[in-house]
């Protein structure tokens, strides 16, 4: 005998599941948002789940329904940061003329995100948290970003805007030193200064110009 009157219909259960899933996502979002606040105020390595719980207004054990460990929170933060910067890079690059202009626009957006999200950026560019190593899954968007930059470099070479050398491992490493260096100096020396006012962040266009001149095709130099 089927007790169909006690079994909720799909129409009844589906919205409830969706609501629950949405509510859960919102809570996860809130945890991560507060975690970023704590990291910014106390330092990336000083993230404490108890402090996050305190600010949200729940007890620490409740957070374990959403994340199995403190490392899992760091992992989600890493992934989220990498997704954000990838998104910014792609949006900016897509809005510009393909080639060096797209590259410059993407790198500029990249640097701006880093300066404005120092706590998250430290997690991506430095290794400030003893014992934490991002999972391969969290690394995904970061890998995509590197691959996007490679593509933009290759595109600039194809268009004759840069020498072939720019798209080699050396060119990529030089570019990452320039971007990572500007961010690092900014984050270490003047973390609270706005991007447009920073002594180092303001150099990003200059550094890009240096990169482009260095790898300019023969005969193109002034």
Query: Could you say which of 3, 11, 12, 61 contacts DNA (CB under 7 A)?
Result: 61
- From the list DNA, a copy of itself, none, pick the one residue 50 interacts with, judged by a Cβ distance below 5 to 8 Å according to partner type: DNA
131 belongs to the binding site for a copy of itself (CB under 8 A)? yes
Query: Could you say which of 8, 60, 181, 217 contacts DNA (CB under 7 A)?
Result: 60
Nearest to 114 by CA among 97, 139, 89: 89
Q: Output the furthest CA–CA distance in the chain (Å, rounded).
A: 89
Task: Closer to a copy of itself by CB, 117 or 122: give it.
Answer: 122
Residue 98, Cβ density class (10 Å: 0-12 exposed, 13-18 middle, ≥19 buried)? middle
126 belongs to the binding site for a copy of itself (CB under 8 A)? yes
Q: Phi first, then psi: what are they for 73, rounded to 5°?
A: -65, -45
Query: Which phi-psi region, left, alpha or beta, contains residue 43 (left: φ > 0; alpha: ψ -120 to 50)?
Result: left
Using CA atoms, how far apart are residues 62 and 13, in angstroms rounded to an integer? 25
Residues 169-208 that bind a copy of itself (CB under 8 A): 169-170, 173-174, 176-182, 184-185, 187-188, 191, 199-200, 203, 206-207
Residues 26-55 that bind DNA (CB under 7 A): 27, 47-51
DSSP tag of 26: H
* Cα 162–Cα 168–Cα 172 angle in degrees, nearest 5: 85
Residues 26-45, mask of contacts with a copy of itself (x by CB under 8 A) = ----------------xxxx
- From the list a copy of itself, DNA, none, pick the one residue 33 interacts with, judged by a Cβ distance below 5 to 8 Å according to partner type: none
For the record, the structure tokens of 193 come out as 């200064």
216 belongs to the binding site for DNA (CB under 7 A)? no
Nearest to 85 by CA among 105, 109, 101, 104: 109
Task: Closer to a copy of itself by CB, 57 or 222: give it.
Answer: 222
Q: Which residues contact 222 (CB under 8 A, 6 or more apart)?
A: none
115 belongs to the binding site for a copy of itself (CB under 8 A)? no
127 belongs to the binding site for a copy of itself (CB under 8 A)? yes
- From the list a copy of itself, DNA, none, pick the one residue 62 interacts with, judged by a Cβ distance below 5 to 8 Å according to partner type: DNA
- Using CB under 7 A, list all residues that contact DNA: 20, 23-24, 27, 47-51, 57-62, 64-66, 68-71
């Amino acid at each position: 005998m089927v007790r169909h009157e006690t079994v909720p219909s799909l129409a009844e259960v589906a919205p409830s599941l969706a609501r629950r899933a949405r509510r859960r996502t919102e809570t996860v979002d809130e945890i991560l948002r507060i975690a970023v606040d704590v990291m910014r105020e106390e330092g990336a390595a000083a993230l404490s789940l108890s402090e996050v719980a305190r600010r949200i207004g729940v007890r620490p054990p409740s957070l374990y329904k959403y994340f199995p460990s403190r490392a899992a929170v760091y992992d989600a933060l890493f992934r989220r940061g990498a997704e954000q910067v990838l998104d910014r890079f792609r949006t900016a690059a897509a809005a510009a003329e393909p080639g060096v202009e797209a590259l410059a626009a993407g790198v500029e957006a990249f640097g701006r995100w880093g300066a404005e999200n120092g706590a998250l950026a430290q997690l991506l560019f430095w290794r400030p948290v003893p014992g934490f190593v991002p999972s391969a899954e969290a690394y995904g968007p970061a890998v995509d970003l590197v691959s996007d930059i490679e593509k933009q470099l290759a595109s600039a070479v194809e268009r004759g805007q840069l020498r072939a050398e720019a798209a080699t491992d050396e060119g990529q490493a030089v570019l990452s030193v320039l971007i990572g260096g500007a961010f690092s100096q900014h984050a270490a020396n003047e973390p609270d200064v706005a991007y447009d006012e920073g002594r180092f962040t303001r150099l990003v266009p200059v550094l890009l110009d240096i990169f482009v001149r260095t790898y300019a095709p023969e005969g193109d130099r002034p």
